[in-house]
Structure 1
């Protein structure tokens, strides 16, 4: 997984562009939980296929929810106390139409 840092990524801390390419904002360069989160997206892209992943991610709310819940569950292993923060981010940042409480329940599995 190649990691590039750029301050141009102002809307997110990190973004997986392709199975082997992750962009990070410089302020989170050393965040192991975020890197693990993005590694999940790399695997998802390999499993689903890059174009299919992006098509489904942008066109299907259920797929986007599945992809992010799986990745945030890995983030929680690195920051177990961050569940409320991750739930708020999940509920507000991905156009999923869920509340923070619903997101928290999904993250708890």
Structure 2
């Protein structure tokens, strides 16, 4: 079953970025329209967003209930848990690393070479400070 998501082809992306996923919205440069690897990479981030968002919603709902909130308020605040993946990715380098390693492993199954995946994972835009051997070990595990 494919998770609901939307793909927008646009050049309105940061320099050097071929695609990005923000929740269920994926933006990919038009030149990569036929690139199954980048589509799979970004779709992996969509999966992560849904998985972590569902857990986040449950946690927010449980906290609201434990805190004595009425069901209606609990249901109103639970969707805030959908921000779990986005916040973790933005604020926590280890979460960002986990997310990208998963996505690059998926992309490698569609033809991206290990060396290219290593170079991309080491990109300064991820702010991971990885060394070559560490990136290679993570991606080939």
TM-score w.r.t. length of structure 1? 0.91
User: What is the total number of aligned residue pairs between the two structures?
Assistant: 107
> Cα offset for 1:27?
1.4
Q: Which has the larger radius of gyration?
A: 2
Between the aligned partners of 1:29 and 1:10, the Cα distance in structure 2 is: 17
Alignment of 1:16 with 2:21, yes or no, is yes
Alignment of 1:67 with 2:99, yes or no, is yes
Q: Which residue of 1 aligns with 2:110?
A: 78
Between the aligned partners of 2:14 and 2:84, the Cα distance in structure 1 is: 25
TM-score w.r.t. length of structure 2? 0.72
Select 1:91's aligned residue among 108, 122, 134. 122
Between the aligned partners of 1:75 and 1:32, the Cα distance in structure 2 is: 8
Between the aligned partners of 1:27 and 1:100, the Cα distance in structure 2 is: 28
Give the conservation status (yes or no) of the 8 Å contact 2:37–2:110: yes
| Structure 2, gaps ≥5 residues long | 54-81
Give the conservation status (yes or no) of the 8 Å contact 1:90–1:100: no
> Cα offset for 1:7?
1.0
Off by >6 Å, runs of 4+ in structure 1: none
Alignment of 1:27 with 2:31, yes or no, is yes
| Structure 1, gaps ≥5 residues long | none
The DSSP-based 3-state class of the residue aligned with 1:98 is coil
